[in-house]
Amino acid sequence: MDARATPLRRICKIVITIANIFLDPHLLSLPIVFERFVMGWVGAGIAIATTAYFFYRYPPRSWAEPDSSAPPEPKPETPLAATSDAPVQEKQDSRAPTPPIESTEDTQSTPKASASSAPPPVLAVPELNLESEESTSQSATMPSIPQPTNEPDAQKLPEPRRSEAQTTLMPPPSLAVPAKPKQPSVPRPTPTSSSLMPPPSIPRPTPQPNRDPRLQPPRPSGSSLGPPPSSAAAQRGAAMSGVRQVNSTLAPTPVSLKKASKKVALEPGFSPLDWAALAANPNNQLRGKDLPPSLLRVTPSMLREQHGRKGRDAWTSYNGKVYNISPYVPYHPGGKGELLRGAGKDSGQLFMEIHPWVNWDGILGECLVGILVSENDIQTENALDAMD
């Protein structure tokens, strides 16, 4: 009776309180009071409902299990259903072990734990295919982490399981292999996965063999690596007019810049040796016929009359001396026409332009006619002769 009276008293008190609230003369604003009343009870109801739901989802029976001596290592073994033991299966039945798995994972690697400790609702969304690597690595490496447990069995079991996981459950080290999504998370390299699966090598630029300067083709002209031009080559190049200067040593160097030879084919018996033999005989009268044995005084006007035409010998002057070149015409290597260009006048300039190395006096010594004198010298001589 006393136990039943207590609730009735409470109900009566509540009713009286509500009545007082509504009938309170000080509370003139009834809507405000009603609103406070309703909101207060609504809040209390929500709190009660939340508490009840919490106890329903996580009954006190499950609270005592983590405190037991059962090691947390078998919890990550839940995905490995084939190799899990009996206690592991018991924990796999309950939903509570899921959070502890994440907690143990936090102790492994800080970067992976931050992302893998996603709330349970997120775990149910399979979206990505690449997290298989992470999930398998977690399941395979979780047991290898030393746990603060005193049970020796718990430390012995993870080693063979890890090997099994590596041999049987580890996918090939390829990110493109699709796997069953268990924990959708951003795939990223973890310390354990990096040790088991080497990351793909980063493509690096391979050295190009052509970049080797030793294999490069020779540089163009003017390269500093080439041998310096010799002084002789420099002098030759300076002396040669009209030659294109080439710095490359591989280019053919011009030996000489002789013009096209203008030599002519001499008739048989008119070789230089034949001329030497002819000149050696003083009886040949190479100076000309009907000339006195002494040297003549030849004036320019006299020289001009010996032009080599109309039956006259060709005379030419050189260094103040006059020579009869008519006997030498068939022996001249440059031909008749070239030699007769100097007939009747001084040939010194032409001779020096073409072949300054030729010994004029040595060839035409027997052809010497006289000396070149001016016209005044002849007049003076004639005047002196008249006085005598």
We find the least distance from the C-beta atom of residue 219 to ligand HEM, in angstroms, to be 41
Q: Angle of helix 30-57 relative to helix 2-23, nearest 10 degrees?
A: 140
We find the least distance from the C-beta atom of residue 263 to ligand HEM, in angstroms, to be 5
We find the least distance from the C-beta atom of residue 279 to ligand HEM, in angstroms, to be 11
Start-end of H helices in the chain:
2-23, 30-57, 60-67, 86-93, 98-108, 110-116, 120-123, 132-141, 152-156, 158-164, 191-196, 231-239, 272-280, 300-305, 336-339, 348-354, 360-364, 375-387
CB 132 within 8 A of CB 170: no
Query: Which residues, in sequence order, are CB contacts of 109 under 8 Å at separation 6+?
Result: 190, 191, 192
Task: Return d(Cα 94, Cα 59) in angstroms, integer.
Answer: 11
Give whichever of 154 and 298 is closer to ligand HEM, judged by the CB atom: 298
Give whichever of 229 and 335 is closer to ligand HEM, judged by the CB atom: 335
We find the least distance from the C-beta atom of residue 259 to ligand HEM, in angstroms, to be 7
Query: Which residues, in sequence order, are CB contacts of 117 under 8 Å at separation 6+?
Result: 102, 103, 105, 106
Does the CA dihedral 99-103-109-115 come out positive or negative?
A: positive
Give whichever of 35 and 361 is closer to ligand HEM, judged by the CB atom: 361
Pairing of strands 368-372, 296-298: parallel
Q: Six-digit token pair at 260?
A: 């096209």
We find the least distance from the C-beta atom of residue 369 to ligand HEM, in angstroms, to be 13
- Pseudo-torsion of CA 141, 142, 147, 151, nearest 10°? -100
Around Cβ 238, how many Cβ atoms within 10 Å? 10
Pairing of strands 345-346, 315-318: parallel
By C-alpha distance, which of 105, 66, 63, 98 is closest to 79? Answer: 98
- Nearest residue to ligand HEM, by Cβ distance, number only: 334
We find the least distance from the C-beta atom of residue 264 to ligand HEM, in angstroms, to be 8
Task: Return d(Cα 191, Cα 111) in angstroms, integer.
Answer: 9
Task: Return d(Cα 23, Cα 21) in angstroms, integer.
Answer: 6
CB 171 within 8 A of CB 131: no
CB 183 within 8 A of CB 116: yes
We find the least distance from the C-beta atom of residue 387 to ligand HEM, in angstroms, to be 39
Give whichever of 116 and 316 is closer to ligand HEM, judged by the CB atom: 316
Site residues for ligand HEM per CB under 6 A? 261-263, 325, 332-334, 338-339, 341-342, 347, 350-351, 354-355, 358, 360, 363-364
Give whichever of 84 and 347 is closer to ligand HEM, judged by the CB atom: 347
Task: Return d(Cα 31, Cα 37) in angstroms, integer.
Answer: 10
We find the least distance from the C-beta atom of residue 336 to ligand HEM, in angstroms, to be 10
We find the least distance from the C-beta atom of residue 272 to ligand HEM, in angstroms, to be 7
We find the least distance from the C-beta atom of residue 354 to ligand HEM, in angstroms, to be 5
Around Cβ 16, how many Cβ atoms within 10 Å? 11
